Amino acid sequence: MKKKYFGTDGIRGEVGKYPITPDFMLKLGWATGRVFAEEGHGFVLVGKDTRISGYMFESALEAGLSAAGVDTKLLGPMPTPAIAYLTRTLRAKAGIVISASHNPYYDNGIKFFSVEGTKLPDNLELKIEQYIDSPMVTVESSKLGKASRLVDAGGRYIEFCKSTIPSSLDFKGLRIVVDCANGATYYVSPHVFSEIGADVITVGTEPNGLNINEKCGATKPEFLAEKVIEFRADLGIALDGDGDRLIMVDHKGEIVDGDELIYIIARSLQKSGRLTGGVVGTLMTNLGMEHALKKMGIDLFRANVGDRYVMEMLKKHNAVIGGESSGHIICLDKTTTGDGTIAALQVLAELQKSGKSLHELKSGMKKYPQVLLNVRINKKVNIDEVDEVTKAVKAVEKKMGEKGRVLLRSSGTEPLIRVMVEGEKESDVVKYANELSEVVKKAI
């Protein structure tokens, strides 16, 4: 069955436009409660990021869950990966995250975690959708759910993060700028890095409900790069609004993206004999990473874009590290979902163990120039079935050989064909990307 409300990563959209409305969230809370009430007594965790609409949706979900007879424990502002961890360790029926991740404040959304701290299986999402489309019935008053606040949630998560690296490592004297994007990590992540001994300078830690992801964080790492140079720091850590993405900056102010960070972590795991099953990237993972891993005898497996698909492939290949160039990194030997703070700790641990700088650690991987062009279309097509386009793609691939890569794919959210070309020479990459874009425009 096709899902009506759930996308690949929950439900997301603009606040005030259906389904991101208070009445829908009330019904969603009730529907979720009904599904989990069928599985016996228990409670549901509800956490959020710092956007202003979180207050409204938190109250609506709480009311809906209560109407279904389910207890709620409210976490307040808390990173998405922290909610996944707490759902698992507190053995909650489910964890609900109110967040639109790296989107601006006027968007919001809902994500769910199962008792294992992973995304809900399709059958449960479909069951929730069936209840959403059925009449809402409140349980009798004696069976209404209660709500309470979990006051030590932040402390629990801070301790868990610190436990993912050896306590023997000494980070004294390491100067770090941490950019929390005025989002959900504004309190917990600076504590994690300062408690392991680093000298922490914070930016993006003054959320006002409207400034989440605004010109800062993992989606705007140029701001962090300026601060690293300004404060003469050893490196910078940029998280996104809900804390599941990580981009870093080295002491020269150079941005270190998700591909380079995954490479560093994979290399560290291989050196310590803890790497299993290869590394998982996506269709957009830079060819330079694939070549660098190949030199080390490590296989790269490419999943479709999206953390759900990365997770599926990690499990399929029994791998422990994977993610996306955007900085969504899953350290599956440490936790069950993408976690920017935990991924950063693994990089810092390798920094200390190797005695090298972040700049030196990333230098083992040479990023290939990559050009991504969007071609707007007025009708839905399967690009793989357009002869003129497939011929042109094959011709470019033949010219580049193993030193280049072409990817054409339809956008899942807009009427666009995305044309991506990467290779050794930037001039060739730009030329081929423009040529292919023109072929797509004429053919469609």
Residue with tokens 């700028």: 177
pLDDT of residue 383: 86
pLDDT of residue 378: 81
pLDDT of residue 305: 87
pLDDT of residue 415: 80
66 is an active site residue: no
Tens digit of each residue's pLDDT (9 = 90 or more) over 26-67: 999 999 999 999 877 789 999 999 999 999 999 999 999 999
Domain annotation for the chain: domains and CATH numbers = 11-152 (3.40.120.10), 160-362 (3.40.120.10), 370-443 (3.30.310.50)
> Which of 312, 336, 321, 310 lies closest to 86, judged by CA?
336
**Number of C-beta neighbours around residue 127 at 10 A:** 18
Catalytic residue (one of 101, 114, 268, 326)? 101
pLDDT of residue 413: 62
pLDDT of residue 385: 86
Structure tokens at 325: 């160039």
pLDDT of residue 382: 83
pLDDT of residue 412: 65
The gap from C-alpha 193 to its chain's centroid, in whole angstroms, comes to 20
Is this structure's pTM higher than 0.85?
A: yes
- Return contacts of 136-140, CB within 8 angstroms, 24+ apart: 136/26, 136/27, 136/30, 136/67, 138/67, 139/67, 139/68, 139/69
pLDDT of residue 2: 85
Pairing of strands 329-331, 321-323: antiparallel
Which stretch of DSSP H or E encloses residue 158? helix 153-162
> Which of 48, 51, 46 lies closest to 182, judged by CA?
51
Which stretch of DSSP H or E encloses residue 27? helix 22-37
Give the chain's residues under pLDDT 70: 412-413
pLDDT of residue 51: 98
Tens digit of each residue's pLDDT (9 = 90 or more) over 368-422: 999 999 999 887 788 888 899 999 999 999 999 989 999 998 876 678 899 999 9
